[in-house]
Amino acid sequence: MKVTVVGAGAVGASCAEYIAIKDFASEVVLLDIKEGYAEGKAMDLMQTASLNHFDTKITGSTSDYSKTANSDIAVITSGIPRKPGMTREELIGINAGIVKDVSSNIIKHSPNVIIIVVSNPMDTMTYLVHKTTDLPKNRIIGMGGALDSARFKYRLAEALEAPISDVDGMVIGGHSDKGMVPLTRLATRNSVLASEFLSEDRLNQVMEDTKVGGATLTGLLGTSAWYAPGAAVSALVQAIACDQQKMFPCSALLEGEYNLNDIAIGVPVILGRNGIEKIVEIDLSDAEKTKLTESAEAVKKTNGTLEF
Ligand code: NAI
């Protein structure tokens, strides 16, 4: 199993590290436009192998895509992250050009690849890869909901004063502060609805804290987060590589599901060796349907600014 990670910055390197530590891939190739940067990160990570007990071979390259040939999975994290006060949508001008260029280079050397898009604004970047490449739709996946759901579970566990492994919850919709839809109605603690333990106000607070999860960290760190994003990407890569048939909310191209068309947005999907094996349509309440529709309208507005 060969995995390419384009962009050896904060998220790309973190994702490569988690993939290596989980030791399911034979090879990870890091690629970055910054001279020597990916080579340096790869060497540093390889020098953790004997300490962290993994055999995954990590190599780095400065934009030599021939090194990525025959990758099974490629992760695109190249681009600029947001600074405090910025929205993800403000990154579109620079990141669209980078994502288009990077995805076409990846496919040239790995025609059967499965692409995971991370660069922001992620739903629009995922749509861009759908529109500008010939890859089948199951092989283009946007990562956002897995991270937002992890942040949701963190906030739920905090509110419930419960271990994180006891709680479950999912965030669908666009990967943006305003657009994401944490499904508080379906959140659980040990399979019992969280609403049995928490007041409506407290659950709403959990929802609001989740929505600004990324912005909160950007304010604290001065740039966007990397541990949880890297871990979320590595979980998707592992689900595909190990054919786990596991459900994650991911940005998927919709053709009628949830009454949405011609858009990539976060919905539950089953991930396995073919990428998106199935889009899962869960029963949403009328209020959740309205939120998802509004979120889709906002993503479509951003998509409308793309130049192909
Ligand atoms: P970073 O600045 O640390 O790393 C980005 C790397 O991309 C840099 O090392 C840069 O040299 C490289 N790069 C730029 N253009 C390139 C090109 N054409 N080819 C190869 N490499 C290139 O940024 P960070 O924090 O790693 O974030 C990366 C992206 O991921 C940002 O757009 C950020 O907003 C997004 N992000 C998305 C998340 C999600 O849930 N979807 C979560 C966190 C970040």
* Residue 234 confidence (pLDDT): 98
User: Is residue 222 one of the residues assigned to a domain?
Assistant: yes
Pocket test for ligand 1, best of 78, 98, 102, 302 (most atoms within 8 A of CB): 78
Give yes or no: residues 223 and 170 share one domain. Answer: yes
Q: Amino acid identity, residue 152?
A: F
User: Is residue 308 one of the residues assigned to a domain?
Assistant: no
CATH of the domain at 126: 3.40.50.720
Weakly modelled stretches of the chain, pLDDT under 70: none
* Residue 308 confidence (pLDDT): 76
Q: How far is the CA of 130 from the centre of ligand 1 (A)?
A: 19
Q: Which of 143, 164, 180 is the last residue of a domain?
A: 143
- Tell me whether residue 209 is annotated as binding: no
Q: What is the pLDDT of residues 210-263, one digit of tens each?
A: 999 999 999 999 999 999 999 999 999 999 999 999 999 999 999 999 999 999
What share of the chain in percent tops pLDDT 90? 94
Give yes or no: residues 174 and 235 share one domain. Answer: yes
Strand pairing report for 114-117 and 171-173: unpaired
Give yes or no: residues 267 and 150 share one domain. Answer: yes
Where do we find the tokens 């001008």? 93
Give yes or no: residues 152 and 125 share one domain. Answer: no
User: Is residue 116 one of the residues assigned to a domain?
Assistant: yes
Give yes or no: residues 131 and 249 share one domain. Answer: no
Give yes or no: residues 137 and 226 share one domain. Answer: no
Host H or E run for residue 59 = strand 57-61
- Tell me whether residue 120 is annotated as binding: yes
* Residue 88 confidence (pLDDT): 86
Residue 191, Cβ neighbours under 10 Å: how many?
A: 7
CATH of the domain at 268: 3.90.110.10
Are 216 and 139 in contact by the 8 Å Cβ rule? The answer is no
Q: What are the strands of the beta sheet with 188-189, ordered from one edge?
A: 167-168, 188-189, 192-193
Who contacts 257 (Cβ-Cβ below 8 Å, separation ≥6)?
267, 279, 281
* Residue 239 confidence (pLDDT): 98
Q: Amino acid identity, residue 300?
A: K
Give yes or no: residues 62 and 9 share one domain. Answer: yes
Q: How many domains does the chain have?
A: 2
Q: How far is the CA of 186 from the centre of ligand 1 (A)?
A: 33
Give yes or no: residues 119 and 163 share one domain. Answer: no
| Domain ranges, residue 222 | 145-303
User: Is the distance from the beta carbon of residue 78 to the nearest atom of ligand 1 less than 6 Å?
Assistant: yes
User: Is the distance from the beta carbon of residue 82 to the nearest atom of ligand 1 less than 6 Å?
Assistant: yes
pTM of the model: 0.97
Q: Which of 124, 143, 162 is the last residue of a domain?
A: 143
Q: How far is the CA of 10 from the centre of ligand 1 (A)?
A: 7
Q: Is the ipTM of this complex over 0.85?
A: yes
Are 88 and 127 in contact by the 8 Å Cβ rule? The answer is no
* Residue 86 confidence (pLDDT): 86
Give yes or no: residues 155 and 299 share one domain. Answer: yes
* Residue 227 confidence (pLDDT): 98
Q: Which of 126, 143, 160 is the last residue of a domain?
A: 143
Where do we find the tokens 């280079």? 105
Is 53 among the residues known to form the active site?
A: no
